[in-house]
Structure 1
């Protein structure tokens, strides 16, 4: 791989990490996940434990993804895994919806109201191109 390709790979990796990280942070902060969990579980004294559980889960999921780890489950064993994966996808979709609502506020604070449309279009086209790249390069 040449130098330009390596620089491009670093740029794409940092951009992807920034997008996923900001979605995760928006999920935690905008939806007030940790405070809601403490109210539901009546465990205000365990707030730090909830926070560390989120950090440990993110690190474990990243490690598993980078290692290309796989596990074999029985058909009945896939039910809880599928349920948890569905909860994750649903919560992440809700968090990303909240991120879209946050963009106009952020643009106003940064005095970039004129560029909100460009920012949204960059996100849309980035998602489309990233999905096409994944499907064409890795699936086909």
Structure 2
């Protein structure tokens, strides 16, 4: 491969990474995800910790993906990691839906104003069922 082609690939990769990273930062910043997440978990005093955990996690897992690092871990450790990662994604999604008021709007559009709890339970059971199917059946 010629040096010019290599340089072009590096520039395209860096440009794509900057675009995705900028979008992620804009998403987190503009929608106030971290402050809302601390509000939902009643952990206002740990807001800097949440921010550093998010930045550190993104950096570490980018390096893991970039350098193809891998580990052989016991099933129990992997299960605990999966549980913690799932809780993080769930609370992040909860913070996002809280910011955007998704469920009240969806309930009004579906004419389910009085059944908001039923709508929330349907979403929760659907996510749990889908996750279990993917995890158990590798779909």
Query: How does the TM-score come out when normalised to structure 1?
Result: 0.51
The answer for the alignment partner of 1:35 in structure 2 is: 35
Structure 1: how far apart are the matches of 2:17 and 2:74? 33
Q: CA deviation at 1:8?
A: 0.8
Going from structure 1 to structure 2, the CA distance change for 1:85 and 1:14 (only over 3 Å counts) comes to: farther
The SS at the match of 2:72 is: coil
Structure scoring higher RCO (CA < 8 A, sep ≥ 6) equals 1
The answer for the alignment partner of 1:18 in structure 2 is: 18
Pairs aligned (count): 93
Going from structure 1 to structure 2, the CA distance change for 1:85 and 1:7 (only over 3 Å counts) comes to: farther
Structure 1: how far apart are the matches of 2:7 and 2:49? 38
The answer for the alignment partner of 2:46 in structure 1 is: 46
Q: Which of 1 and 2 has greater Rg? A: 2
The SS at the match of 1:11 is: helix
The answer for the alignment partner of 1:2 in structure 2 is: 2
Structure 1 residue runs of 5 or longer lacking an equivalent are 96-140
Query: How does the TM-score come out when normalised to structure 2?
Result: 0.51
| CA-atom RMSD in angstroms | 3.1
Structure 2 residue runs of 5 or longer lacking an equivalent are 97-139
The SS at the match of 2:5 is: helix
